[in-house]
Every structure is written in C-alpha cells, then in structure tokens.
Structure 1
C-alpha cells in the first residue's frame, strides 16, 4: 500500500494553473489521491498544510485572517468545503498589493454544492479536476485490473481483488453515513443508497428521472436532487447530448455514468474478473471505463454523445478546438463497421472515428474509421 504511482500530467496541470491564478482548487472524489499529490507539492517548498478534518488544523484556522495574513509562498488547505467562510478571506488576502502567498485548495465537492467558491474567488482561482488512477498512470498492461478495481488508489493497490472490493464497500458506506452529512446535506442514507445502486443498473443509459422516481417510489424532484449530489461529489457523470440543427430528431437528455468502474462493480456485486465478464452489465461497464479513460487523456475537450430517434448513435464526441473526433466503445474482439458509424461520421463532420475495443491490433474499418485497442488510442493534438 506504500506504492507511489507517478502522476506527471496532473502535476503539470496544477503547475500551469498556478501560472494563471494565485489560487488553484483541486477537485475530485474523496480518496482519489488529492492529499498525496498536495503533500508531494508541499514537500518541495516545506509549505504548511491545513487539513480541516484534523481538529488541530481546523482550530488553527478558526481565525483565518490572523493565521494566514503573514504567510508567504504556497499554503495547502485540505477538505476546504468544510469551511466555506474561508473563501471571502482568501479573496482579500490574494488581492492585497503585497501578496506573496499562493493557495492550493483541495475539495471533495463541486462549487455547485459548496456555496461561495465561484462567487468569492471568481477570477482568482483555477479549477483542476482530478480522478483516481488512469490507464496512462498505471500502465497499459494493467488495463483489466484497473477496469475491475477502478482508479481509487487504495482499491487499485489492494493486495487482492477481495481486499479491493472490501475497501470499495467501506468507501460507499462511509460516503453515505459520514461524508454527505459533513457537507451539510440532510437526506436519508438509505434512500441515497438505493438510488446509487439503481444508477449502477442504469449506467450508460439516457437519463429519465420519471422512470427512476417510479421505481424508487419518490418524486422526480428528489431523484434529481440525489443525482446532483452524486455528480457534485464526482461519483457520477452526466454526459450531455450533442446537438445541432441537422433536420433530425436528436436525443436531448443526458446519459448517466458512474465515474469509477470499481465503485460500479461494488454496487453491482461483482467480485472478480470472471464475475464481470459474465455479468449482464459488462458491455455498459466497458463503455463507461473506456469513456473515462478517454476523458482523462483529453481533459480540455468538450465531450458529448450523439443519438437520433431513428437509431444512429455514437458513444462519445470530443471537440478539440476546431477538430472533432468520435469514439464508439465495443466489447468485442473483432469489431466491424456499422451503418450507425458511417451516419455519425457524416452527420458530425468527424475528422476521424475510433472504435475502441479490448483487443491488441489497430486496423481500418473504412476511410476515417479505425478499430483501436483502448491502451493504444493515439494522443490527438488540438
């Protein structure tokens, strides 16, 4: 469990963000490795770290202006969402003409859940989104292990699949019973747990709040609130639909995914690779896993999916500046060309369409359409 996985791309994004603003807010789910990254950065300059889950550090910031006003260089504040009253004070500090401090804030909830971040620090902070380990970080040869266990460091580094599953079960329980109340959100843990499990079974499908509300016996408003909480704590992703006026009836509701494949498998009761490959949701699991891998490789891309009511669809559309690429995820050892792919290629004006599959060979399916293993997806430059 002491293994350290290098994360150079993430470190570079943080460094680049500090070149723009005096405050960088590193956002990601709890236990995804934010503290480890912050400590590595802090060690270089002996920067102080305030962990607001530590009673002593929390008490030290009970008078934040006194505690921080004479600080210079980098200052790290972990779990900053626990003290939203800090944000206006940080604004005052970094706006001083003689300011020599920089702040690295670590948060486990999006600005939509923590009031005051966007408003107080507008123009003063850069947001860097972080997830667990990616395929690029753990190595392409570990793609099956990463798919099964997910990217949370303690889950991926566990001594066995069984130990990994137990960690993920504990994470789910702790999130429901402790983390949500600490955000000031008062909802029944049992209700959110049932919703989370239901989302696991709807993973990769188009969002329909009414269907889930009827299944759970709650209101549409409550279902939407539950979704916002899981999305705001970086556990669920809403992938928006691609939309332009093509003269076709396009699907306009988002798709919903659990962002970590390991958490998905824990909620579905999948314990090992044999169980995953024989599970009815294995195709949806592959789609979500491949999608998150691709998004981690192209963090600046505008992402969406494409679907028409006549049946044409594409799992992922990435707009990279003036270039647009498409990706279709296929859990198939030898994917072939489909009419849906050729329609999407033309409708979307794609520069190229990649069919991502769990194989070993890259081969063409048609002009501008290529089958490619997930671990071999090319680095596409803007």
Structure 2
C-alpha cells in the first residue's frame, strides 16, 4: 500500500480541532487503511468495524463499551448504526474528553444527515478519494487514468488483473452494497443504468432520455442517480447560475467518479482500447476534474459546471469565498484560447482560467488565461 502523507496530515489536523471527524468515501478507497496509519499519532487506537459480528457484540451496550476508552476510537461503516450518534455527542461533550472519534462511512446521504443533525458543532467532515497524483507520482498518471485510483485496482500486477478486480468490485456494489442502502432494483437493471451513465460521462444530465431507455419514470431515474452520487461512485456537477439565468444551461453534468470504473463499464481493457474509444476525451476530462478537486482540496459544494444556450461553456468552476477559478480540460498538447473561454472569464468574473492539457509545459496564453499541464498540476496550481 502506498503512503498517503497529505491525507494523513489533513486528518491529524482535523482531529486536533474537532472531537469527532467523519471520513466519507466510496468502498475500498482506503479509509480503514488511512485510519490505521494514524496509530503513531495517538497513545491508543481502538477500532470497531460494524460489519464484523465480533465488533458488533462488543458494542452491544455502546455506552459501557465506549465511555472508558481514550486515544483514537475508530468506528467503521458507522452509517449502519445511526443510533450511536446521540451517545457520541454525549462523549464528545465530556469535560475531560481524552478521546477523539473517527467515523468511517461509504454512504454519504444518511451519514452526513445523521452526523450533522446529532453532532452539530462537534463533527468535521473529510472526503477521501482513491489514489491521486500526489500519491502515485505524475510519472504514473497514465496508469492512474486507465486503472483508476481504487488502491487494489491501481496496484494490481498488470492491466488484466486490474480489469478483473474492477469487474468484481462493480458486481459487489450492485449485489451487496446498494441493496443494503435500500435500493430496490435488480442488480442487472442497476448495472444497465450505471453503464448508460458511463456513456453519458461528461454530458449534461438528461433524466427523461434515460428514463425512456429504462422504461421507468424520470423521478425513479433521479433516485438511482442520487444513490450513486451519495455513495461517491458518480460526481454530479450542478450548474452555476449567473445574473442572466434564462440563458444558462440548467442541467447538471455527470461523471463516473473513478475512471477505472468508467473504463470497466465501457469494457476498455488497455490504453489502446481507451485512446480508440469515442469517450476518450470525456474520460480525460473527468480524470482531470478529480485531480483538480483533490489538489484544491475543494468540497463538492465548491465545484460547479457552467454553460450558456449560445454555446459558451466551462468544464469546471471552483469558488471558495471571493476566489473564483475556471478550468477547461483539453486532451491535447497544444491548447488554444477559444471565444468560449473568453466568455467564461468575463461572465464568471474569474481570477484565472486554467486550460488543463496533456502536454509537458504550463504557460500564459492571454491575460487571465493560463495553460496548465496536468503533469505540472502539483507544482503550478496552489491548493486552497
């Protein structure tokens, strides 16, 4: 397993500020491994996995089990026992707490809602993705793009092994994880929906079209999308509205969050398969968007897409406080400024617009517009 020093440092900082920290992320992105890597930073570490019958038995009387503990207390898959939240609030409010609680979960909707309501003012959230460029090094970016960032997929001995593992992962999600969240849809139907989403990767969401193709109402299709977004398997970029709302494209854009899973759904086994596929540009776009989000340290509610019915558009708009950044992604080593970029720069009042490309160098293009090589992302883009 690769070390993740940036994630460890961020997590230690959060735990020094808040009595309870919740790590959110898809299954097998490395949440448990990251939690175990915190051992040198605490005198004691206690781990409870709510999918382990033995640990469930230890928590049969939660207050009796948790109250005496000190150091770091890790509770994995905590969304399975939301009734723990009121007790954690009480324990976090002790005059001499002596303990920090680290909650791990792979279903954001119920977990965020439960933690936010029961632990208000006591909990901080951290979203963890799979491996990123900072973990694997830019020299491995092509492997990361093809296989994705799920640790076992990236670290597989070869592309074929990675491809097989990703197929098993998808099957497990469909047959085990999603039904456990209350999704009453046959695995084959959900696979079809997820595969259709892969073909829509990087496009504006069209629920009516997907609903007709599946033979289900629009509302049901939106529910399916919400589940995949809530389990961090799909990224949904909501549209940013400027003053002239009538001209703005109001549909969100959807991306399969991990390109390795995208390529498995599209049955792309090798780089040759990928580069020959019609979705190669959209795949690169999603890969770069995830890399940008990680580098900035941006939350989901700080990232949008933007477009006008006239045709002007921007792949990614990032806003925190008064800072406004735009990103347009191009699968080329010779990017050019377009009228659409100039429109976005003016309409969104961007501090800077970056054109993220596949070449080797970053360079200024026009006033306010900078070419940013993905290979230089960790050097030329400052984190927030």
How far apart are residue 201 of structure 1 and its match?
0.4
Q: Does 1:321 align with 2:321?
A: yes
Distance 1:136 1:288 in 2: 17
Counterpart of 2:229 in 1: which secondary structure?
helix
Q: Does 1:350 align with 2:347?
A: no
1:23 maps to: 20
1:286 maps to: 284
How far apart are residue 40 of structure 1 and its match?
1.0
Equivalent pairs, count: 379
Counterpart of 2:247 in 1: which secondary structure?
coil
How far apart are residue 73 of structure 1 and its match?
1.7
Q: Give the conservation status (yes or no) of the 8 Å contact 2:242–2:347.
A: no
Distance 1:334 1:214 in 2: 40
- Are residues 248 and 220 of structure 1, via their aligned partners in 2, closer, same or farther at CA, if it must alter by over 3 Å? closer
Distance 1:276 1:98 in 2: 56
Gaps of 5+ in 2: none
Counterpart of 1:327 in 2: which secondary structure?
strand
Q: Give the conservation status (yes or no) of the 8 Å contact 2:105–2:111.
A: no
Q: Give the conservation status (yes or no) of the 8 Å contact 1:213–1:219.
A: yes
Residue among 205, 213, 225 paired with 1:227: 225
How far apart are residue 6 of structure 1 and its match?
2.1
2:262 maps to: 264
Stretch of structure 1 that moved more, 87-96 or 267-276:
87-96
2:275 maps to: 277
Distance 2:182 2:195 in 1: 22
Distance 1:116 1:208 in 2: 31
2:101 maps to: 103
Distance 2:112 2:354 in 1: 38
Q: Give the conservation status (yes or no) of the 8 Å contact 1:235–1:259.
A: yes
How far apart are residue 113 of structure 1 and its match?
6.1
Residue correspondence of structure 1 range 132-151 to structure 2 within 5 A: 132-151=130-149
1:24-63 per-position Cα deviation (integer Å, ceiling 9, x unaligned): 0011000000011111113543311111122111111121
1:380 maps to: 382
Q: Give the conservation status (yes or no) of the 8 Å contact 2:44–2:70.
A: no
1:189-211 per-position Cα deviation (integer Å, ceiling 9, x unaligned): 22211111110000111112111
Q: Give the conservation status (yes or no) of the 8 Å contact 1:74–1:103.
A: yes
CA RMSD of aligned residues (A): 1.6
1:365 maps to: 365
Residue among 9, 34, 38 paired with 2:35: 38
How far apart are residue 333 of structure 1 and its match?
2.4
Q: Give the conservation status (yes or no) of the 8 Å contact 2:242–2:348.
A: no
1:238-262 per-position Cα deviation (integer Å, ceiling 9, x unaligned): 1111112047601122111111000
Structure number with the higher helix fraction is: 2
Distance 1:111 1:194 in 2: 23
Residue among 234, 241, 245 paired with 1:243: 241
> What TM-score do the two structures reach when normalised by structure 2?
0.95
- Are residues 112 and 201 of structure 1, via their aligned partners in 2, closer, same or farther at CA, if it must alter by over 3 Å? same
Residue correspondence of structure 1 range 73-112 to structure 2 within 5 A: 73-112=71-110
Q: Give the conservation status (yes or no) of the 8 Å contact 2:296–2:383.
A: no
1:192 maps to: 190
> What TM-score do the two structures reach when normalised by structure 1?
0.95
Gaps of 5+ in 1: none
Q: Give the conservation status (yes or no) of the 8 Å contact 2:85–2:114.
A: yes
